[in-house]
Amino acid sequence: MNKKLDKKPLGESLRIPFSKRNYQLLGLSFLLIVIGFVLMYVGDEGRGKPEVIYSFRHTTLPVMFIMLGFVCTAIGIMKRFNAPQ
């Protein structure tokens, strides 16, 4: 049984799956998610106070940051940017 092997020449470089732009988007998405969780945190002074827990800053705004981070993650993984030649 004779199998042909696809061998690349030694000078040919391997293709990296993501470009620099993809990694920048993934970094931005990680940062947005972390900011969202930091905004969601209620310190010791706000524990048990419904006006603090259910405020815009602690419920709505962090969710927007986290969802935007997940969308940027999906774009960073799925989108293929043209690598500079």
Domain spans of the chain, in order of start: 20-78
Residues 6+ apart with CB under 8 A from 62: 36, 37, 39, 40
Tell me how far apart the alpha carbons of residues 30 and 10 are, in angstroms, rounded to a whole number. 37
Q: Cβ of 33: how many Cβ atoms within 10 Å? A: 19
Q: Give yes or no for residue 35 having a pLDDT over 80.
A: yes
Displacement of CA 68 from its chain's centroid (Å): 9
Q: Which pTM was predicted? A: 0.76
Residues 6+ apart with CB under 8 A from 82: 19
Tell me how far apart the alpha carbons of residues 81 and 72 are, in angstroms, rounded to a whole number. 14
> Which one has a higher pLDDT value, 4 or 58?
58
Q: Give yes or no for residue 74 having a pLDDT over 90.
A: yes
pLDDT at 6: 61
- Which range is least confidently modeled, 34-38, 46-50, 66-70? 46-50
